[in-house]
Amino acid sequence: MNIDGKQAAADLRVKLTKEVESLKAERGITPGLTVVLVGDDPASQVYVRNKVKQTREVGMISDEIRLDEDTTEEALLATLAKLNNDENVHGILVQLPLPKHINEEKIIATIKPEKDVDGFHAMNSGRLLNGEKGALVPCTPQGCVILAKRHLGDDLSGKHAVIIGRSNIVGKPVSILFLQENCTVTIAHSRTQNLPSMCRQADILVAAVGRPEMVKADWVKPGATVIDVGINRIERDGKNKLVGDVDFDDVSAVAGGITPVPGGVGPMTIACLLKNTIEAAKIYG
């Protein structure tokens, strides 16, 4: 069965629209999200355009700052300092990856944790790890849990979640989120021995490795829930195609539920970004 991320994101936006309305009515706050884009990668531009459109759709203020590819680190830091001090800006997102001459870690550390709607700042990852309130939680991992629950229901306790990938952006935080849902969590990665048989143990399998169509049907326990985080552009039959880390046609035959690419985790990432911005405005605005 297909787990429809587009529909799940649209459902979430309906809820968010109402929250924005009451924030405006009761506290006079309109949540604002500013996206900073360095350089002009065409894929990034599509992503930014979708974000801007959806942000406005739920009644929030959306801003974009575009900087040249050769912008200095100092100039980017100065831009962030301004946004950190702008009370109309509740969320700041600096699109990654950044050009090589800019230190990404330093940039992330400069964003005020209260405005870090990506949830990448050490303050937010620390709060997430410690289970503290007020953490801004990374968007893609939140989307993965929402989609798993959409298929399995709200109670995930006792399920074995196997995460393939250990990045700071997806693998590590999504593991913590499934642990908070009382799952048994295994983090697998490129050095894991016998990866297919490890994955076959999963009730919930999350693929976040960035390798096109790596997960095959014989990696998946019949009936398992498969969440595909991959967004890979490949050439096939002379055409440019978007595929996940899961071989969708192959795995669909055995999985109980599977998220497609496109139309799965991607739209949820954006909806959760809006959710985080509203959260930031509510708590810190």
**Residue 51 φ then ψ, to 5°:** -60, -45
Contact call for residue 118 and ligand GUE (CB under 6 A): yes
Q: Is 86 a catalytic residue?
A: no
Q: Is 203 a catalytic residue?
A: no
Residue closer to ligand GUE, measured from CB, 203 or 279 = 279
Quick one: DSSP state of residue 214? -
Q: Are strands 32-38 and 91-94 parallel, antiparallel or unpaired?
A: parallel
Q: Which of 4, 95, 245, 247 is catalytic?
A: 95
Per CB under 6 A, which region of 88-96, 200-208, 210-218, 275-283 contacts ligand GUE? 88-96
Q: Which of 270, 274, 278, 281 binds ligand GUE (CB under 6 A)?
A: 270
Closest Cα partner for 208 from 257, 173, 238?
173
Instruction: Measure the CA–CA gap between 214 and 23, rounded to whole angstroms.
Output: 44
Residue closer to ligand GUE, measured from CB, 36 or 199 = 36
SS3 79: helix
Q: Is 106 a catalytic residue?
A: no
Per CB under 6 A, which region of 194-202, 217-225, 246-254, 265-273 contacts ligand GUE? 265-273
- Considering the complex, what minimum distance in angstroms separates the CB of residue 216 from ligand GUE? 21
Long-range pairs for 193-201: beta carbons < 8 A, 24 or more residues apart: 195/164, 195/219, 198/162, 199/162, 199/164, 201/160, 201/162
Binding residues for ligand GUE, total number by CB under 6 A: 18
Quick one: DSSP state of residue 98? P
Instruction: Measure the CA–CA gap between 63 and 208, rounded to whole angstroms.
Output: 29
Per CB under 6 A, which region of 14-22, 65-73, 75-83, 263-271 contacts ligand GUE? 263-271
Q: Where are the beta strands (DSSP E) in the chain?
A: 32-38, 61-67, 91-94, 160-164, 184-188, 204-207, 225-228, 232-236, 239-243, 257-258
Per the annotation, does 108 bind a ligand? no
Per CB under 6 A, which region of 75-83, 171-179, 208-216, 255-263 contacts ligand GUE? 255-263
Residues in the chain, total: 285
Contact call for residue 245 and ligand GUE (CB under 6 A): no
Contact call for residue 254 and ligand GUE (CB under 6 A): no
Q: Which of 4, 118, 203, 228 is catalytic?
A: 118
Query: Which amino acid type is present at position 219?
Result: W
Q: Which of 208, 266, 278, 280 binds ligand GUE (CB under 6 A)?
A: 266
Binding to ligand GUE in span 139-168, by CB under 6 A: 139
Per the annotation, does 231 bind a ligand? yes
Contact call for residue 46 and ligand GUE (CB under 6 A): yes
Instruction: Measure the CA–CA gap between 152 and 178, rounded to whole angstroms.
Output: 13
Enzyme catalytic residues: 51, 95, 118
Residues that bind ligand GUE (CB under 6 A): 46-47, 50, 93-96, 118, 139, 231, 242, 261-263, 266-267, 269-270
Q: Which residues are annotated as a binding site for NADP(+)?
A: 165-167, 231
